[in-house]
Chain A
Amino acid sequence: MTFALEVRGIEKSFSGVPVLRGVTFALEAGKTLGLVGENGAGKSTLMNILGGGVQADAGQMLLGGVSHAPRTPADAARAGVAFVHQELNLFPNLTIAENIFLTAFPTRSGAFIRYSAIYQRTAELLREVGLDTPPDTPVENLSTGQRQLVEIAKALSRDARILIFDEPTSSLSARECEQLFKVMGQLRRRGLTMIYISHQLGDVLRLCDSVVVLRDGIVAGSGPTREFTADRLVVLMVGRALTQLYPSRRGSARSEIVFEARGLGEPRVIHDISFALRRGEILGVAGLMGAGRSELARILFGLDPHSRGAVFLEGKALHRASPTERISRGLAFLTEDRRHEGLCLDASIADNLMLVALRDFARTPLKLLNRAMSRATLQKIRERIRLNQNARDEQPVRTLSGGNQQKVVLGKWLLVQPRVLILDEPTRGVDVGAKFEIYSQILELADGGAGILIISSEIEELLGLCDRVLVMNRGEIRDELSRPEFDRERILQSALPAELFS
Chain B
Amino acid sequence: MESGSARPTTTRLLPGAAEFFGRLAQSDYLVLGLCVVYLASFAPFTPGLLSLENLGNLLQSLLPLSIAALGLTVVLIIGGIDLSITAVIGLTSVIGAKMMSSSHGWLADSAFAVPAALLAMLACGAAVGALNGIGVTVLKLPPFILTLTTMMAVSGFAVWLTKSRNIGGLPEGFSSLWASLWFATLLTAVIAALLHLLLARSVFGRWCQAIGFNSRAARVSGVPIQGMTFAVYVICGVCAAVAGILFTAQAETGSPVLGQRVLLDVLGATVLGGTSLFGGRGKIHWTLCGVLFLRLVDNSLNLLSLSIFTITMVKGGVILAAALLDAARSRLTISRK
Contact = CB atoms under 8 A, between A and B. Distances in A.
Contacts of A342: 217, 220
Contacts of A301: 220
A358 B218 CA distance: 12
B222 A323 contact: yes
A351 B8 contact: no
A340 B216 contact: yes
A412 B221 CA distance: 9
Q: Which of B5, B206, B336 has the most CB of A within 10 A?
A: B206
B251 interface: no
A463 interface: no
A252 B74 CA distance: 49
B203 A359 contact: yes
A328 B222 contact: yes
A341 B214 CA distance: 8
B1 A401 contact: yes
B164 interface: no
B21 to A, nearest CB: 16
Q: Which of A39, A362, A367 has the most CB of B within 10 A?
A: A367
Q: How large is the interface on B (under 10, 10 to 19, 20 to 34, 35 or more residues)?
A: 35 or more
Q: Which of B2, B4, B223 has the most CB of A within 10 A?
A: B2
Interface in A439-470: none
B219 interface: yes
A113 interface: no
B2 A401 contact: yes
B202 A346 contact: no
B337 A14 contact: yes
A435 to B, nearest CB: 17
B295 to A, nearest CB: 30
A173 interface: no
B217 A341 contact: yes
A367 B8 contact: no
Contacts of B207: 358
A358 B220 contact: no
B213 interface: yes
Q: How large is the interface on A (under 10, 10 to 19, 20 to 34, 35 or more residues)?
A: 35 or more
Interface in A106-129: none
B6 interface: yes
Interface in B201-253: 201-204, 206-207, 209-210, 213-214, 216-224
A335 B219 CA distance: 12
A136 to B, nearest CB: 31
Interface in A326-345: 326-328, 333, 335, 340-345
Nearest to B216: A341
Contacts of A54: 3, 6-8
B3 A355 contact: no
B334 interface: yes
Contact of B213 (A333, A345, A367): A345
Contacts of A67: none
Contacts of A323: 219-220, 222
B197 interface: yes
Contacts of B220: 301, 303, 323, 333, 335, 341-342
Interface in B1-56: 1-8
Nearest to A403: B2
B333 interface: yes
B280 interface: yes
Contacts of B210: 344, 347, 351, 355
B206 A40 contact: no
Interface in A156-202: none
A17 B337 CA distance: 9
A342 B201 CA distance: 23
Contact of B3 (A39, A44, A324): A44
Contact of B8 (A15, A71, A398): A71
Contacts of A433: none
B217 A368 contact: no
A399 B6 CA distance: 10
A389 to B, nearest CB: 12
Interface string A197-231: 00000000000000000000000000000000000
B191 interface: no
A55 interface: yes
Given A344-B214, A366-B198, A354 B206 contact: yes
Contacts of A390: 1
B2 A340 contact: no
B198 A344 contact: no
A356 B221 contact: yes
B203 A362 contact: yes
Interface of A: 14-15, 17, 19, 39-40, 42-45, 48, 53-55, 71, 301, 303, 322-324, 326-328, 333, 335, 340-347, 351, 354-356, 358-359, 361-362, 366-369, 371, 390, 396, 398-399, 401-402, 412
17 contacts: A15-B336, A17-B337, A40-B2, A43-B2, A45-B2, A303-B219, A324-B223, A327-B221, A333-B220, A341-B217, A341-B220, A343-B214, A355-B221, A362-B202, A366-B198, A367-B203, A369-B203
